[in-house]
Copies of this chain bind each other. A is one copy, B any other.
Amino acid sequence: MDKTKVGIINVTGYVGVELARLLHQHPQVELISVTGRSAAGQKLGSVFPHLAGIDLTIEAELGEVDLAFSAMPHKESAGEVTPLVDRGTRVVDISADFRLKNAAEYVSTYGFTHPAPQRLGQAVYGLPELHGAEIAPAQLVANPGCYPTGAILALAPVVKAGLIEPEIVVDSKSGLSGAGRTLSLRSHYSETNEDTAAYALEGHRHLPEITQELGLLHSGQALSVTFVPHLTPMTRGILTTCYATLSAGKKGQEELRQLYLDFYRGKPFVRIAEEPPHTKHTWGSNLCLIYPTIAPATGKLIVISCIDNLVKGAAGQAVQNMNLMLGLPEVSGLEAVAVYP
């Protein structure tokens, strides 16, 4: 059988190279084209020595592919993706440009007027554990943000079951690759090594995604999500600790665990952990580990999730979406065990 031809727009960031790594190793697709403005004309393996085994030259324009991934920055991605969708190419857009259903939120959250608002309704939010059936036939899939992936998967079961009060706290700890390969003082080694700090206290761009998706699962009073992201000195990984108050008639620890096991039954990339999970246990893999528990002193619900932000939080999830879109096994090309220690 011929392999499906795929390509990556803007391969030169961390999500782009991670996609290249995964697609190169995927048994049923062939990566035939990668683009990147500044590096156009160079061999992929010259710019990224770990990809020296991939014989591709970085191009200015994407070649003819069956399915394209856009790893462009937000605001710029829509402009690349829309013409492709118009001419029938299927696309997984890893930027934020098609994640939000409400065009007005692009103005308030990202500071730009969305250039193709009519596409927002058509795009499917690419969290396979929640939207698998819609992703399969979709032409345009909006790959979720890294923080939303961890937060939504942690909270979806209790929100859907109506088990918690609407006030939720989401406290995330992220490694630095999430800030990308673009140079900035925030990612400068000497500034970030031996350091932990919160940021975006004025409101992080991923909050509307979290609220939108949990809101779809929720009935009753609107959810109130307080989200604080933190940077910790590691390259990969996001650990998210969620806090909520259990509604009256609350569940016990075992019942809670069973709820999560039931919710994610048959989902290959979610594992309900038996112990508080470590980001390191997901390093390089597409797994999301989730640990729900109840604080003995206060009865508060605590749900902890962890993912590799570049895999389940970005490139791996994009491949998972592609698998569903192409009718391939969901786990195809994503079966690698985490590299530990």
A-side residues, CB < 8 A to B, are 14, 17, 21, 24-25, 46, 48-53, 167, 169, 171, 173, 175-177, 181, 183-185, 187-199, 201-203, 207, 224-228, 230, 232-237, 239, 241, 243, 245, 271, 273-285, 289, 293, 295-298, 300, 302, 304, 306, 335-341
A167 to chain B, nearest CB (A): 7
Chain B residues, Cβ within 8 Å of A17: 340
Given A183-B188, A226-B302, A202 and B338 touching (CB < 8 A)?
A: no
Chain B residues, Cβ within 8 Å of A284: 284, 339
Complex: A203 Cα to B293 Cα, angstroms: 12
Given A183-B188, A201-B293, A234 and B193 touching (CB < 8 A)?
A: yes
Chain B residues, Cβ within 8 Å of A181: 185, 188, 190-191, 341
Complex: A278 Cα to B281 Cα, angstroms: 24
In the complex the two chains form, is A189's CB within 8 Å of B176's CB?
yes
Complex: A188 Cα to B188 Cα, angstroms: 5
Complex: A106 Cα to B239 Cα, angstroms: 32
Chain B residues, Cβ within 8 Å of A237: 194-196
Partner of A189, one of B173, B235, B337, B339: B235
A11 to chain B, nearest CB (A): 13
Complex: A192 Cα to B199 Cα, angstroms: 22
For this complex, 5 residue pairs linking A to B, each with C-beta atoms less than 8 Å apart, are A21-B337, A171-B241, A193-B234, A197-B239, A230-B241
In the complex the two chains form, is A14's CB within 8 Å of B341's CB?
yes
Complex: A197 Cα to B226 Cα, angstroms: 21
Return the chain B residue nearest A188 by Cβ: B187
Identical chains bound together, number: 4
Partner of A228, one of B24, B228, B241: B241
Chain B residues, Cβ within 8 Å of A274: 46
In the complex the two chains form, is B298's CB within 8 Å of A337's CB?
no
Complex: A188 Cα to B282 Cα, angstroms: 18
Given contacts A49-B281, A226-B297, 7 further A-B contacts (CB under 8 A): A21-B340, A49-B277, A171-B241, A188-B189, A191-B341, A193-B341, A194-B237
Q: Which of A195, A230, A336 has the most CB of B within 10 A?
A: A195
In the complex the two chains form, is B197's CB within 8 Å of A189's CB?
no
In the complex the two chains form, is B188's CB within 8 Å of A279's CB?
no
Chain B residues, Cβ within 8 Å of A228: 241, 295, 302
Given A298-B224, A339-B21, A339-B339, A173 and B230 touching (CB < 8 A)?
A: yes
In the complex the two chains form, is A194's CB within 8 Å of B300's CB?
no
Complex: A185 Cα to B180 Cα, angstroms: 11
In the complex the two chains form, is B226's CB within 8 Å of A295's CB?
yes
Chain B residues, Cβ within 8 Å of A167: 245, 298, 300
A8 to chain B, nearest CB (A): 15
Chain B residues, Cβ within 8 Å of A24: 337
Given A21-B339, A189-B235, A194-B280, A52 and B271 touching (CB < 8 A)?
A: yes
In the complex the two chains form, is B233's CB within 8 Å of A233's CB?
yes
In the complex the two chains form, is A275's CB within 8 Å of B243's CB?
no
